[in-house]
């Protein structure tokens, strides 16, 4: 994996945790990311990863799937139960199963090995930008007397200030950062057919490859949480040859605090 030339420097020094049992890869990624202006931490396995998370403020995790002991899938799932830190998973080259399961576990993006260093940096920037934009929007809403916007649909509500999804039974449904972004994308564009390419651009800020199934997997995960029968969805409907459409009427409620 060769280093890229003409490195850009990030405006703020974000801290990235590299989790990979291959020392050479950890060193290469550390060198690469530091040249782009990022701070880095590294871990060889899950226990070390959680140790670093407890002692450092981490902005993004690069997580390899093949780890000794607890694998990346399990670690990703555990992280999602307690944190919304963005996760980019490194998968085996050409292994669609790894990528699909990684997304199902809550990863925000994936990249197959071997990878182009510039592509990895581009993915990192895109994921961090989405996450920062969401955090900034929350801060702005918190300062505004009209901050508590709520999007309602079919008895459900998405509270934008807190990023909480609440069911008609008043149960809070946990969403990963990717699931929240996808749902918000649909709710902001109800009853509009959105192609997979459009969704990938809106959510991941990148173009789809011919065999990219990431949007389909994220839609499937969201259906599992929203639909009474995910196999016969009423909310997120598939448009043959077109993509997806969010069918319910969406009401925006702005609360004056």
* pLDDT tens for each residue of 219-231: 998 999 999 999 9
CATH 3.40.30.10 applies to domain 15-134: no
pTM of the model as a whole: 0.62
Q: What is the pLDDT of residue 93?
A: 64
Contacts 24+ apart (CB under 8 A), 33-40: 33/121, 33/124, 35/3, 35/7, 36/7, 36/8, 36/9, 36/10, 36/121, 37/7, 37/8, 37/9, 37/10, 37/13, 38/10, 38/13, 38/14, 38/124, 39/13, 39/14, 39/15, 40/15, 40/16
Q: What is the pLDDT of residue 145?
A: 47
* pLDDT tens for each residue of 69-86: 999 999 998 888 778 789
CATH classification for the domain delimited by 144-255, as one of 2.60.40.180, 3.30.479.30, 2.60.40.1930, 1.10.10.10: 1.10.10.10
Q: Provide block-wise average pLDDT over 10 residues at a time, the chain (257 residues).
A: 44 86 94 95 96 94 94 90 86 71 80 88 88 56 55 94 90 84 91 88 59 75 93 94 91 74
Burial track 50-69 (b if 16+ CB lie within 10 A, e otherwise)? eebbeeeebbbbbbbbebee
In the chain, domain spans:
15-134, 144-255
Q: What is the pLDDT of residue 257?
A: 52
Q: What is the pLDDT of residue 212?
A: 57
Cβ atoms within 10 A of the Cβ of 207, count?
9
Q: What is the pLDDT of residue 204?
A: 61
CA 4 to chain centroid: 25
């Amino acid at each position: 994996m060769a280093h890229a030339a003409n490195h850009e420097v990030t405006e703020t020094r974000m801290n990235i945790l590299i989790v990979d049992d291959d020392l050479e890869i950890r060193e290469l990624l550390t060198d690469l990311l530091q040249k782009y202006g990022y701070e880095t931490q590294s871990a060889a396995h899950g226990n070390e990863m959680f140790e670093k998370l407890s002692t450092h403020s981490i902005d993004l995790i690069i997580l390899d799937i093949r780890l000794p002991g607890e694998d990346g899938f399990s670690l990703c799932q555990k992280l999602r139960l307690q944190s919304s830190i963005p996760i980019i998973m490194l998968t085996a080259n050409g292994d669609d199963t790894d990528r699909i399961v990684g997304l199902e576990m809550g990863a925000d993006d994936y990249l197959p090995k071997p990878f182009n260093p510039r592509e990895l940096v581009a993915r990192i920037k895109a994921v961090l930008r989405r996450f920062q934009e969401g955090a900034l929007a929350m801060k702005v809403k918190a300062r505004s007397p009209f901050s508590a916007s709520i999007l309602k649909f079919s008895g459900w509500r998405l509270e934008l200030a807190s990023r909480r999804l609440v069911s008609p039974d008043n149960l809070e449904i946990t969403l990963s950062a990717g699931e929240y972004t996808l749902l918000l994308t649909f709710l902001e564009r109800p009853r509009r057919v959105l192609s997979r390419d459009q969704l990938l651009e809106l959510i991941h800020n990148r173009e789809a490859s011919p065999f990219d199934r990431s949007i389909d997997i994220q839609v499937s995960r969201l259906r599992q949480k929203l639909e009474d029968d995910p196999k016969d969805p009423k909310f997120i409907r598939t448009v043959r040859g077109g993509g997806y459409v969010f069918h319910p009427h969406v009401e925006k409620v702005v609360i004056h605090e």
